[in-house]
Amino acid sequence: MATDEEALAAEWESVAEESAPTMEQSSEPVLNQAEIDSLLGTDDLEDEISGIQAIVDSAMVSYERLPMLEIVFDRLLRMMSTSLRNLTSDNVEVSLDSITSIRFGDYLETIPMPAMISVFKAEEWDNFGLMISDSALIYSIVDVLLGGRRGTAAMRIEGRPYTTIERNLVERMVTVILSDLSAAFDPISPVTFRFDRLETNPRFATIARPANAAVLARLRIDMEDRGGRVELLLPYATLEPVRELLLQMFMGEKFGRDSIWETHLANELWSTDVELDAVLDQIVLSLNDVMNWRPGSQILLNAVPSSPINLRCGEIPLFVGGMGQKNGNMAIKIDKKLRKM
């Protein structure tokens, strides 16, 4: 008996020794901290966000695309090239860097100080937008309009507010760009963008709630060896009156409509057979009276031969006429149409 117990105990010890490395191995973490950070996209905040963090951020600012808006900005580029060339008497090239969707509050935090923020109003849409000019463009415009020599970079002095002359010259440029922006929107919806005010602090240029979505277009203006950037910010609330038009893939698109099919359906409807009921009179009886009807029972109607007859299609009254006879058949002459066709 003791021999059997000793043999059983030895067998259990051998099984425990074999399983011990497996237990220790399974207790080790499957992923180290670096792998977890890489998966979450938080390993290096200075680099481009990736992983799950990128998916979360993209879902937060994932708004519908407006295809027609790209055509509007394409028209704006061509018009600005001509208008700014006339303004500066210099060779001007305007290019579009990107059109993105962004939260209004997030964008305001990225504007450097001091800034030249132009607030403009869309008169017909009764809302506002922003135009931000960077320092390089401001100093380039001042240099060009005041007769600066070509081939020399515009002088840039950091850490000081913009002067009255600089503000007035930038306002001239903004007025020209807003006029071109109005003309670019004309084929879609006539609108007038009017310059409202010029701000140097982003807090005073708040035209929407921080969480509201906005369309941001970044434009690059090059004047030979000078130039800079202009950013146009249009909140989605501003574009809401023309949202349906901006969703079009091409000008004049009819959403979900096929004119050929509509014409065919209309022709077929006009040739459709319908059944009309001529109603002499209508009375209300109890169910008990109806159950007591027998062959030979009579129903009294409040109608005489000259009473008007209602013509119905199902439960819908269509015409009223008088009863008569023609060619040996009962006939009704229509006197009045009750429903427009």
Helix (H) / strand (E) containing 226: strand 226-235
Structure confidence at residue 46 (pLDDT): 45
Q: How far is CA 304 from CA 199, 301, 307, 321, 338, in A?
A: 84, 8, 5, 13, 22
240 Cβ contact partners less than 8 Å away, ≥ 6 residues apart: 125
Structure confidence at residue 38 (pLDDT): 63
pTM for the model: 0.56
DSSP codes joined into one string, 63-94: ----HHHHHHHHHHHHHHHHHHHHHHTS-EEE
Nearest to 207 by CA among 326, 117, 332, 293: 117
Number of C-alpha atoms within 13 angstroms, CB side, residue 126?
1
Q: What is the mean pLDDT of each run of 10 residues along the chain (341 residues)?
A: 64 59 50 65 51 50 67 89 87 87 86 82 90 86 77 57 84 91 88 88 83 88 84 89 78 59 83 86 87 87 82 85 84 80 55
Q: Which amino acid is at 281?
A: D
Structure confidence at residue 179 (pLDDT): 92
Structure confidence at residue 175 (pLDDT): 92
Domain map (residue ranges) of the chain = 31-60, 67-246, 273-337
Enumerate the β-bridge partners of residue 130. Answer: 119, 233
Structure confidence at residue 177 (pLDDT): 92
- CATH code for residues 273-337: 2.30.330.10
Per the CB < 8 A criterion, the answer to whether 66 and 246 are in contact is yes
Nearest to 137 by CA among 106, 102, 112: 112
Q: Give CA–CA dist 311/279, Å, rounded.
A: 6
What fold characterizes domain 67-246?
Answer: Chemotaxis protein chec (3.40.1550)
